[in-house]
Amino acid sequence: MNQELWRRSATKLKAYIPGKAIEDVKKELGLEEIIRLASNENPFGPSPKAVEAMQQAVLDSQLYPEATCSELRKKLGSLYDIDSDQIIVGNGADNVITLIGSAYINPGDEVIYCTPTFPAYRTITLLMEGTPVEIPVDENYTFDLQAILSAINDKTKLIFICNPNNPTGTIVEEDQLEAFLKQVPPHVVVVLDEAYAEFIGREGYHTGPDFVKAGYPVIFVRTFSKLYGLAGTRIGYAAGSKEHIAPIQAVREPFAANRIANAGAVAALDDEEYKNKTIQENKQEMKKLIKELQALGYDVAESHANFLFVDLKEDAVQLFEALMKEGILIRPCIAWGLGTHARITIGSAQQNEHLLQALRKVSQKLTTS
């Protein structure tokens, strides 16, 4: 079909191609169980407290949600020691990023970020008729803050910094981030996408809330999809100064976050046991998995998230397909133009063991060398 009727900027976009649904893979390959290490989901399922709260919330499904998610914002406000009016909740971090772009980007505005990174920044920039300014990550697969500073001009509106970065798992050096923020001119807003911030394994590392409280022009974005295990219910949020959040409030749809997700998020925030377990197990399993993958001859970048960025040193799409037949899904990085890299979610101990067994069985590199 021709695209004459389309909004012109929409013709530049491609519909998201989702990973294969677990149900389809099972049916096609006749497998009982699929282990998905492709989407950075929490391997322990949702928090039991969240499940209970969501079951209760279902009973009120005929009612619209409380529009602003005030209870959740209050809880988040006390967690970060900021005013709840500085927080905005949306239908997942993805939706929040779309809202930020819709609120800030005028046609012709430039939006800077490094690649490879989360694709949502590019999508919303193109849709708003802005210009994506894409800078390669540095040799350590980290956002190149110096290069971003050099790319700022009068047209720059937003800078996205994905920290930890998806798909590389790297973080920027904390002192460098602060030095960078000091140099950003007043017509530019910095969006810190911190979907994995809770997994950062560095004591006292400063993140979005610290920078917002220090008065930097920062909006930080977080999600309940990763640490909190609520990817399926869709809920995320952004926070910044009241001035920075106001335009996002103006474009937010009235009921951006649904009643069930909201109840789940409120309960999950209080489930310290689940949170600690997730973070502890991720840390332990990461250490083990990195060692084992390196022993198999793969290059693994240092990670501060719940996934690893692995150079498999062979065609990652072929290996992905071979692993799928063994019931394991990983994410090849070919969409980012990286032919031998894959992003592999750190699973439970048992899932990771299955992954390693399957890799030993199907890897071309291992069987031919």
Q: Specify the DSSP element, H or E, that contains 264.
A: helix 259-270
- Positive or negative, the Cα torsion across 225, 229, 235, 236? negative
Which of 35, 38, 162, 355 is in the footprint of ligand PLP by CB under 6 A?
Answer: 162
Smallest distance from ligand PLP to CB 245, Å: 18
Could you identify the residue written with the tokens 């779309």? 98
Q: Which is nearer to ligand PLP, 191 or 362 (CB)?
A: 191
Residues in Cβ contact with 341 at an 8 Å cutoff, skipping those fewer than 6 apart: 167, 309, 310, 311, 312, 316, 332, 333
**133-142 contacts at long range (C-beta below 8 A, 24 or more positions apart):** 137/165, 137/168, 137/170, 140/170, 140/301, 141/165, 141/168, 141/170, 141/301, 141/309, 142/168, 142/170, 142/171, 142/172
Smallest gap from residue 166 Cβ to ligand PLP (A): 4
Q: Given the complex with ligand PLP, which of 269 and 359 has the nearer CB atom?
A: 269
Q: Looking at 41, 43, 50, 94, which residue binds ligand PLP (CB under 6 A)?
A: 94
Give the Cβ contact number of residue 283 at 10 Å. 13
- Our CB check for ligand PLP shows the closer of 162 and 359 to be 162
**Number of residues engaging ligand PLP in binding (CB under 6 A):** 12
Task: Tally Cβ neighbours within 10 Å of residue 71.
Answer: 14
Asked if 123 touches ligand PLP (CB under 6 A), the answer is: no
Q: Which residue from 31, 188, 231, 279 is in contact with ligand PLP, where contact means CB under 6 A?
A: 231
Task: Work out whether 118 is an interface residue with ligand PLP (CB under 6 A).
Answer: yes
Tell which one of 126, 195, 197, 212 touches ligand PLP (CB under 6 A): 195
- Of positions 98, 125, 225, 258, contacts ligand PLP by CB under 6 A: 225
Residue 101 within binding range of ligand PLP, rule CB under 6 A: no
| Min dist. Cβ of residue 219 to ligand PLP (A) | 13
Question: CA separation (Å) from 146 to 136, 176, 184?
Answer: 12, 9, 11
Q: Which runs of E-coded beta strand occur in 22-130?
A: 35-36, 87-90, 110-115
Nearer Cβ to ligand PLP (37/93): 93
Cβ-based nearer residue to ligand PLP, 124 or 212: 124
Contacts of 80 (CB under 8 A, 6+ apart): 209, 239
Q: Which residue has the tokens 């350590």?
A: 140
Q: Are 313 and 364 in contact (CB under 8 A)?
A: no
158 scored as a contact of ligand PLP (CB under 6 A):
no
Q: Which stretch binds ligand PLP (CB under 6 A): 92-100, 126-134, 258-266, 339-347?
A: 92-100
**166 is an interface residue for ligand PLP by CB under 6 A:** yes
Q: How far is the CB of 231 from ligand PLP (least distance, A)?
A: 5
Binding segment toward ligand PLP, per CB under 6 A, in 89-97, 149-157, 333-341, 350-358 = 89-97
**Is residue 239 a contact residue for ligand PLP (CB under 6 A)?**
no
* 171 in contact with ligand PLP (CB under 6 A): no
176: which 2 tokens? 């460098």
CA distance 172 to 193: 12
Total residue count of the chain as it appears in this document: 369
Is 333 near ligand PLP (CB under 6 A)? no
Q: Which are the contacts of 99, defined by CB distance < 8 A and separation ≥ 6?
A: 88, 90, 238, 248, 251, 252, 256
- Exactly one of 169, 208, 236, 332 binds ligand PLP (CB under 6 A); that residue is 236
Cα torsion angle, 264, 265, 267, 269, sign = positive
Nearer to ligand PLP, 94 or 326 (CB): 94
Indicate whether 143 belongs to the interface with ligand PLP (CB under 6 A): no
Question: Which residue of 54, 82, 93, 268 would you call a contact of ligand PLP, by CB under 6 A?
Answer: 93
Strands 341-345 and 307-311: antiparallel
What are the residues binding ligand PLP (CB under 6 A)?
Answer: 92-94, 118, 162, 166, 193, 195, 223, 225, 231, 236
